[in-house]
Amino acid sequence: MSTYREKLVPSGRIYIYLVLLIPASILVFAPINIVIGYVCAVVLYGGSVLVLNVLSPVVSVSDGMLSAGKARIPVSLLGEPEAFTGDAATLARGRKLDARAWLCIRGWIQPVVKVNVHDPADPVPYWLISTRNPNELVAALEGADRELAS
């Protein structure tokens, strides 16, 4: 049973920025052959969009596990989750960041959720995860923890 799932795909403005690849490619290849310039422009833009979408990590809470990208951890080993938005999120990703923390953050997603790890065998003090829905992720983690406790 999945209680939360989110794919951290880029925001729309990233795709708009990538449109700049089109005229750049055409300008580079136009002296050689204009058709090659247009083909390269389409291939570069399409390939960039495809790579960004395929490589976007998935954050999910299901079956008592928190997954962020390729990493997984049982919810029973986690502490209380904290949601950060605005300036607090910037601080959590910057000056207040512990170098030992496990990160699944994306620059185009501003809010983050911090989850402490209570596993004595794990040197990671906490996970910091980007999410567009921090309150929903916190609720899913708390709900999964309650399910395990009962």
Tens-place pLDDT, residues 4-17: 999 999 999 999 99
pLDDT tops 70 at residue 2? no
Cα separation, 39 vs 18, whole angstroms: 16
Which residues contact residue 116 at a Cβ distance below 8 angstroms, ignoring those fewer than 6 apart? 78, 79, 80, 125, 126
For the chain, state the CA radius of gyration.
20
User: Nearest 5°: phi and psi at 119?
Assistant: -110, 115
Residue the block writes with tokens 């247009």 = 38
Closest CA to 104 of 52, 54, 67, 69: 69
Q: Which residues pair with 127 in a beta bridge?
A: 102, 115
Global pTM value: 0.84
What is the residue extent of each domain of the chain?
Answer: 2-54, 73-149
Query: Residue 25 — very low, low, confident or very high, per pLDDT cuts 50/70/90?
Result: very high
